[in-house]
């Protein structure tokens, strides 16, 4: 299919990728284009921000989680109804697994999907030195996908000379510049915690940013570069199907406290025939009636400890269901929710569902951050002994009991550890899973659900 697409990447984090990506997406939406957006890597926050605030269909692209043919399928499935798809890179363009490989880097994604790349260079304290910097990135790897450049933090007066020098010496098209705009910078809090009352304010800020970029960037050339991307071939994988579509119902936690769920995971469950039912552990009184499975997503339960603990009817409902054998996947924040107690961000300790006889507490630094491959050490709901699935960890909170039913292995490193409470009906642990890295895990979960009597 002819799928217009383009990636915004950079030499390093802190170059302005996220700000400029959000501004360009808003400009495209304001022009009336059907726009899809993607983020390289295991990131929930940017896609959530794009969908809630900017209004684009958004998802993840990750070549650690998925083989090339699945990566192309997931992209093509999401991009086929869009007039343009914009991909935001991660870290530096070539930075991949363990910091020692280009695998799972922005470059790897660009190569897998044949995406033209526009480089964003932060030129603060930089002028003609931008030439060897860009030349090095162009010559490091073949085939190169870098075709354009945007100069960030450049003055209107300096821009014409820098554009001329780059285009005279390098095979790149300069698509514009972005001046210093401290009043339009998106704080990290915004990207992580978008509250309903903030959305209108953020949309106003993004509209101002989009108006600025319409003046300083060549959006038409940006669109033309995306339109010139080569055709992309992809095929849907064969997945098993439940006997009767929609008969198996799975409740999915979805509210301010539980909001980290891969869209592709949920869509795979639906493709297999599940019916997904959203509910709120914060606001609802009990689990939905008629469900046969439960997904407690990751998120921010530590920021809502008091409200979650006061909703005692929901805590009781979850405890009775999970302890009674309802198939349950609880990742990170959902895992914390199943503990006996949770230390909130306010430093107070709150009672939780009590499925696990352990307490969860805060640490001052990230614990076990990054990609992992999980191997089952025994037969359990999601995996048979010896089988693997991929995921990632990102958490400041810790548990007195992380479990021991799986072994997590860091890619390209020797470090490993035991984790996860796994049984015939439970997956509870810090790692966030990506089902397309092993679709049989999703299928085994649904088969467990299928034989369960409906709740309530």
Give the residue numbers marked as catalytic. Answer: 332
Listed in sequence order, the residues at least 6 apart from 32 whose beta carbon sits closer than 8 Å to its beta carbon are none
CA-based nearest residue to 443, from 322, 293, 300:
293
Cβ atoms of 249 and 277 closer than 8 Å: yes
Is the bond into 135 cis (omega within 30 degrees of 0)?
A: no
CA–CA separation, 194 and 190 (whole Å): 5
CA–CA separation, 408 and 373 (whole Å): 6
To the nearest 10°, report the CA torsion of 387, 393, 398, 404: 10
Q: Crossing angle of helices 68-79/106-113, nearest 10°?
A: 70
Three-class SS of residue 337?
helix
Query: Quick count: other Cβ atoms within 10 Å of Cβ 180?
Result: 12
- DSSP-H helix ranges across 260-351: 263-271, 305-310, 312-323, 333-337
């Amino acid at each position: 299919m002819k799928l217009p697409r383009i990636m915004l990447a950079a030499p390093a984090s802190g170059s302005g990728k996220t700000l400029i990506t959000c501004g360009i997406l808003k400009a495209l939406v304001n022009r009336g284009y059907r726009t899809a957006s993607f983020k390289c890597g295991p990131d929930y926050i940017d896609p959530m921000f794009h969908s809630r605030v900017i209004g684009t269909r958004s998802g993840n692209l990750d070549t650690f989680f998925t083989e090339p043919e699945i990566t192309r399928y997931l992209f093509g499935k999401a991009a086929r109804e869009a007039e343009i798809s914009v991909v935001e890179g991660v870290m530096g363009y070539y930075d991949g697994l363990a910091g020692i490989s280009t695998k799972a880097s922005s470059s790897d994604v660009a190569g897998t999907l044949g995406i033209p790349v526009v480089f964003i260079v932060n030129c603060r304290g930089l002028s003609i030195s931008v030439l060897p910097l860009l030349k090095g990135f162009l010559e490091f790897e073949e085939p190169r996908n870098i075709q354009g450049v945007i100069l960030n933090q450049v003055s209107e007066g300096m821009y014409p000379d820098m554009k001329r020098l780059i285009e005279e010496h390098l095979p790149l098209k300069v698509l514009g510049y972005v001046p210093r705009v401290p009043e339009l910078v998106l704080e990290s809090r915004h990207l992580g915690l978008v509250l309903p009352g903030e959305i209108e304010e953020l949309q106003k800020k993004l509209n101002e940013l989009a108006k600025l970029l319409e003046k300083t960037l060549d959006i038409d050339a940006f669109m033309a570069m995306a339109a010139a991307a080569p055709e992309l071939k992809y095929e849907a994988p064969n997945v098993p199907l439940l006997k009767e579509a929609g008969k198996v119902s799975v409740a999915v936690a979805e509210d301010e406290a539980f909001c980290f769920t891969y869209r592709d995971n949920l869509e795979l469950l639906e493709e297999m025939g599940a019916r997904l039912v959203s509910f709120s552990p914060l606001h609802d009184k009990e689990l939905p009636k008629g469900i046969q499975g439960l997904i407690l997503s990751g998120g921010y339960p530590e920021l809502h400890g008091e409200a979650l603990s006061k909703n005692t009817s929901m805590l009781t409902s979850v405890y009775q269901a999970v302890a009674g054998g309802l198939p349950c996947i609880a990742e990170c924040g959902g895992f914390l929710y199943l503990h006996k107690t949770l230390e909130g961000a306010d430093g107070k300790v709150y009672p939780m569902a009590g499925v696990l006889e352990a307490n969860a507490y805060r640490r001052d630094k990230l614990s076990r951050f990054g990609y992992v491959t999980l191997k089952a050490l025994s037969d359990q709901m999601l995996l048979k002994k010896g089988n693997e699935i991929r995921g990632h960890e990102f958490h400041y909170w810790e548990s007195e009991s992380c479990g021991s039913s799986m072994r997590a292995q860091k890619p390209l490193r020797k470090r490993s550890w035991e984790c996860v409470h796994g049984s015939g009906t439970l997956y509870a642990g810090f790692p966030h899973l990506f089902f397309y890295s092993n679709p049989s895990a999703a299928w085994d979960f649904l088969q467990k659900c299928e034989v369960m009597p409906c709740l309530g």
